[in-house]
Chain A
């Protein structure tokens, strides 16, 4: 189905099932241990062995860590599974002279060892800068250098410690602040809906800024962050002749399918990926990683099914992360707060072939202003690969832009809500003829201000006290583009009236199963319990996958398209004109005739298969989602500990397909953004070139005690230009801007403006008021 004109009235508008706050249909499986994660698929292949991936270690030392990750038990997918343990490089840059694995090969239970030296450098998959395996070069710390396969995980891990590696280390570049100085402008694309040229200009920024009566110019930094998802990357691999199946944990089956074929150098039809349940991804599982590659290589070498999970340290240093940035924002405005000039520049680092963090993207679209400039610079760093993490670009970009807006509002003597409203735009500031499909940022901010009690905020920083807490409120805008992606599905009706949906869409904890079931139920006029949803298998039609907050809207639109086909097939089978057929209450009705839906399939199942393909509406219109974040924090007057007290997000994001799962996404984003604002930071050892705090004790994310009452309001709206579902993405909107709202609240509480994030207490302490 081609979607190239705005949606009119359609069956989804009935909202009998769609739009309801339905509990997640996979929830009972995920909370009772019956949803098998990749590592738990014990039944899919017989005789599974265990692989342990090795990363290199200086002077013959070797690197392993291990906790048994919860995704690791897909015991059902293959019998006789063995375990693989991945060894990661213990140097950040250089060559491997030799890997001595003789002792490990003789260790109890060991079935096979595959080292990078005996493997030619493998091709890279979709959108990856780092090579995953093969050859003697070490590009970054904990790059996979070997996998040890054994009968048990413990044997694989123990043997991995016997592998001795001889390195020839080389000097590397590890400090962004140093390397940023000579970094050239770089175009780039997050792969998730933001990107552009190295420098983009509208009007004459420099001239307008120089002549602006009110000017603001500050520089900020954001930290490297780890996805730190609950389930580490994990895969069970089994070969059948020259065909391989990977039961894995991946967000984008279509990408992964093609990437694995390319990496293994075999035809795509010989590769199958299956990822029905994913224990979190946040962008870290957009691409296949060393677990999948080394499970496949280990299984080939051991002639057994092999399961591999990356250990927690390898998640930090072997996989991707959100890169740190240095950002400069300049804003020129008239005295009444009208922006006349705005510039946003960002410098980040990456491996050669890596992209810049697209942190300036939102600044092209969020506020009005005739003269504009954005620029991205990219430094070469020999740290692990920087890549997409939840709202790449916007998350760190809004962290800075929305603090800059707060600072400028104060300079202007304006309320920060009013300053943002003053500079709202209903058209693309770069192309004034191009409208937003739907934009209600103003509604988000006004409704949020009213609900939150913004009027009670004391604009004078450091003036509100509650016991030993300094209390402050902060606001920020949320912005994230609405990406739409081609997405396919197959829907089958059987004689019992059961509707089965098959698509390679993934559910990464987001609620895909549920909203897809709701869509099919709505379209076919059946209750939810008559719908079966099967996801994540590359044998199913290729869907949008989970990334860039495009998944919900795109994948349900694909299911909508397939259901339209199925409705036609049903009508045809029943001899009804499909335009007249009404699908309701488990029946197909036309005029006086009412037939149970299942009857249409008495003579054999009926199938509808289609993809939604999006035309030029995303070019004709700018499609984005908006929000207003309101946060209250307390800062301990003595210790400068920051604790969030209240949070509210108001979202403008089209039709909300399921308020419960959507809310869950937004509060998850708010939680993650609070982490970025207050604690999350991969500590770079700039001498040795690695992230030192590579476990969940060292890399702190918010715990329950850090997160107070969170409220989410969805504005009641539809966006017919986006899709037949009239929905947009919300999976990343919640993280966009929330960190800035936290930071602005810290400023309001203390009068201290911290521009290096996260705002840990050491950055406040020197400027806190004298202790009592």
Chain B
């Protein structure tokens, strides 16, 4: 860990301004990912702006009939909220499928969206990784890639977004609310929040420098059956090989987003039109153009079969 300075502002605008004006500054909330990365010198901020004192920790109904979730609402609290459990069960289930109880107690809504990839080469500073050290290359391309992306990747990076929560938010069409250094706020649809790696894999999201997430807004409830199915090598405390967040309506229509397959939660709305025809019809479209490696080609079949299991469960 490199030495860093630290401040604890009391307003969101002040926090955003502090990061914007300080070179190499970062926000810190739960710290469940950032602190590990700092110890490994994968992240080397020289200034930390602690946002834990900003409030932003409530869940409130919106005039549109949805929920506004403060950026600092802990994963545990979000998963346990009665309104979330009733109307956005896919989100509650996704949260509970992630990490451990201890980590969920610390991890925040905004921080979870910003967690970085778990690609083993990103984590080993002796290895080439364009996401960690732009221009150094990608060891994963011809290395160990069983966990990595099958679609939307690039020659520069085949990392995945490792989270669960964001996949559920993607299927719910959540909106990420931010504030910038000038105090201006904007709303970013979750679909546009995470980036594909392209030739800038070091940039995970569309946030501007210093832009601070203040809330995530869920639109009014969709109804239907909410399922989050996470497939992994062990029963708990593991990243998804493939996950599916789905909301299925009684008539068989619905939505589905996939985790563990791309640099961002993967959802192809056009493919959802085929939902009533079954999983294969959906994944054939959703994963058109996929370029898996030898080691992770199984994910395409797994995605299809996992969605199949979800649709079976939804019908039951």
Point out residues on A near B: beta carbons under 8 Å. 55-58, 61-67, 90-91, 154, 157-158, 161, 313, 468, 636, 638-641, 643, 678-679, 683-685, 687-688, 692-695, 697-698, 700, 702-706, 760-762, 765-766, 768, 771-772
Contacts and interface: CB of A to CB of B under 8 A. Distances in A.
B312 interface: yes
A639 B309 contact: yes
A705 B146 contact: no
A17 to B, nearest CB: 39
Interface stretch (B20-28, B116-124, B180-188, B261-269): B116-124
Main secondary structure of the interface of B (DSSP, over half): loop
A61 B125 contact: yes
A772 B234 CA distance: 24
A165 to B, nearest CB: 9
A562 B304 CA distance: 67
A693 B144 contact: yes
A691 to B, nearest CB: 9
Given A692-B143, A761-B241, 12 more contacts: A55-B126, A66-B40, A67-B39, A158-B3, A678-B233, A683-B144, A705-B234, A706-B235, A771-B304, A771-B308, A771-B309, A772-B308
Given A692-B144, A697-B118, A761-B241, A771 B236 contact: no
B2 A771 contact: no
B115 interface: no
Contact of A154 (B1, B231, B306): B1
A772 B312 contact: yes
B126 A62 contact: yes
A771 B3 contact: no
Contacts of B302: 639, 761-762, 765
B122 to A, nearest CB: 11
B313 to A, nearest CB: 8
Main secondary structure of the interface of A (DSSP, over half): loop
Interface string B35-56: 0100111000000000000000
B139 interface: yes
A57 B124 CA distance: 10
A766 B297 CA distance: 11
Contacts of B41: 64, 161
A3 B114 CA distance: 65
A698 B120 contact: yes
A462 to B, nearest CB: 16
A57 B235 contact: no
Given A157-B1, A762-B302, A702 B124 contact: no
5 contacts: A57-B125, A158-B3, A638-B312, A703-B234, A768-B305
Nearest to B239: A697
Nearest to B143: A685
A704 B126 contact: no
Contacts of B312: 468, 638, 772
Nearest to B147: A698
A704 B236 contact: yes
A62 B40 CA distance: 11
Nearest to B299: A762
A762 B292 CA distance: 14
B233 A679 contact: yes
A64 B236 contact: no
Interface in B54-75: none
B86 interface: no
Nearest to A90: B126
A709 to B, nearest CB: 14
A762 B303 CA distance: 12
B127 interface: yes
A639 B305 contact: yes
A698 B124 CA distance: 12
B233 A761 contact: yes
B118 A639 contact: no
A683 B302 CA distance: 21
B205 to A, nearest CB: 22
Contacts, number: 123
A685 B128 CA distance: 13
B258 to A, nearest CB: 13
B32 to A, nearest CB: 12
Given A57-B126, A771-B279, A771-B309, A679 B234 contact: yes
A765 B308 contact: no
A763 to B, nearest CB: 8
B125 A64 contact: yes
Contacts of A61: 125-126
Contacts of A468: 309, 312
B124 A760 contact: no
B6 interface: no
Contacts of A693: 120, 144
Interface in B79-137: 118, 120-121, 123-127
A692 B124 contact: yes
A638 B309 contact: yes
Nearest to B140: A692
A768 B126 CA distance: 40
B234 A636 contact: no
> Which 3 residue pairs are nearest across A and B when measured between Cβ atoms?
A90-B126, A638-B309, A705-B235
B231 A639 contact: yes
B189 to A, nearest CB: 30
A546 B132 CA distance: 42
B194 to A, nearest CB: 21
A760 B144 contact: no
Contacts of B298: 761-762, 765-766
Interface in B276-316: 279, 298, 301-302, 304-306, 308-309, 312
Contacts of B127: 58, 90, 688
A65 B306 contact: no
Nearest to A317: B124
Given A468-B309, A702-B234, A705-B234, A687 B143 contact: yes
B39 A157 contact: yes
Contacts of A57: 125-126
B235 A63 contact: no
Contacts of B36: 67
B234 A700 contact: yes
A662 B306 CA distance: 41
A64 B239 CA distance: 23
B238 interface: yes
Contacts of A313: 124
B155 interface: no
Q: Looking at A58, A61, A638, A702, which has the most chain B CB atoms within 10 Å of its CB?
A: A638
Contacts of B144: 683-685, 692-693
B251 interface: no
Contacts of B239: 697
A771 B305 contact: yes
A56 B127 CA distance: 11
Nearest to B237: A703
Contact of A158 (B1, B126, B232): B1
A158 B41 CA distance: 9
Contacts of A641: 231-232
A158 B4 CA distance: 12
Contacts of B237: 703, 705
Interface in B1-16: 1-3
A61 to B, nearest CB: 5
Given A158-B2, A700-B233, A638 B123 contact: no
Given A57-B126, A64-B41, A685-B144, A692 B121 contact: yes
Contacts of A704: 236
B152 to A, nearest CB: 20
Given A64-B125, A154-B1, A157-B1, A706 B308 contact: no
Nearest to A638: B309
